Amino acid sequence: MSEEINRVFLLPGEYMVSKQPYRISTLLGSCVSICLHHPQHRCGGMNHYMLPRGPSGESAGKYGEYANSVLLKFMERVCGGFSGVEAMIIGGANVVKEIGRADNKNIGEKNIALARGMLKQHNIKVIKEQVGGDVGLKLHYQNWDNKLIVEPMSRSATSSSLLVKPENTFQATAAAAPAGRSSGTIKVLIVDDSAIVRNLLTKAMSGEPDITVVGQAKDAFEAREMLLELGPDVMTLDVIMPKMDGVTFLKKVMVYHPIPTIICSTIAKKGSQTEFRSDKIGAVDVIDKEALNLYSGLETVKQVLLPKIRAAARTPVHRKTKDEVSNV
């Protein structure tokens, strides 16, 4: 085709609708994506949501009720209505085996049911479903011709169900610890309760040919889902966060789903208890956030953080036992 093809990677909570040609990609576990396409208009779009609905009607892109409403609204606006629009539903794998909170059981099935119900409500024909199963999917969608390429992820990438219960217990099925990376793009997950910090760290890593930020999480619960869905190679982790502090979360990660982790916190001073505990638990590095000079440009962030990201990606991490981390 003569038009330039744009490429975009959707993170959980994001969507894309356009008449311009886009190749849209994402990774799905229990999450679901809806692809919408209008053959005559040669336009289409896709979203990516994690849970059917938010607590107390919270509106956010990671919740299907809101995410699907937004996708439908913009598709209706671009195409002038839903007549002729076709849909595909992908995802909803059973990769999370059980979660202590009753409203989060069978997440994949609920995500699928919500997609079906909302499309039926708008009389949109579903021409294809690739849903369920127990393996995550890599998804590539071409919005101009409705071509969909779906690749199964390796079972090891989707078998570790990181489960946080309300009482802060943490369970998972066993999985092999990463053996360390030597080449390829480094996928980074940023975990910090400050949206400003998350965006600054993301901006500092953008443009690096060997580093890609695949997700941002504001707390341990979101990080748990993204570790499962996105399979990052390195995680940066704040300590002072709501619901569960970063050191407690690090203990659970190192027991159930080891990943090279860099603690990045204002209380991670050199010689501090936070530095000592993080090192003992298994963090590959510890950064005092103040040393990054986050609010004075990105040069210091790049100089300090990027080499540590690359080093972390090459560092093998070893699974800890509960006894090894319990008293740290």
List active site positions.
26, 31, 48
Give SS3 for 17: strand
CB atoms near residue 117 (< 10 Å)? 12
Q: Residue 312: enclosing H or E segment and its boundaries?
A: helix 299-313
Q: Give exposure, 76-92, as e/b (b: 16+ Cβ within 10 Å).
A: eebbeebeebbbbbbbb
Give the integer Cα–Cα distance in Å for 76 and 82: 6
Residue 127 CB-half CA count within 13 A: 12
- Nearest of 76, 130, 124 to residue 108 by alpha carbon: 130
Give the E-state strand segments of the chain in sequence order. 6-9, 15-18, 22-28, 32-38, 43-47, 86-91, 125-131, 137-142, 147-152, 163-164, 170-171, 186-191, 211-217, 234-237, 261-265, 285-288
* Distance set, CA 71 to CA 30, 36, 150, 213, 293 (Å): 19, 8, 21, 24, 38
- Nearest of 29, 35, 227 to residue 133 by alpha carbon: 29
Give SS3 for 30: coil
What is the DSSP-derived secondary structure letter of residue 49?
A: B
Residue 81 CB-half CA count within 13 A: 4
- List beta partners, residue 150: 139
Look up residue 219 and give its two tokens: 């707390």
Give SS3 for 196: helix
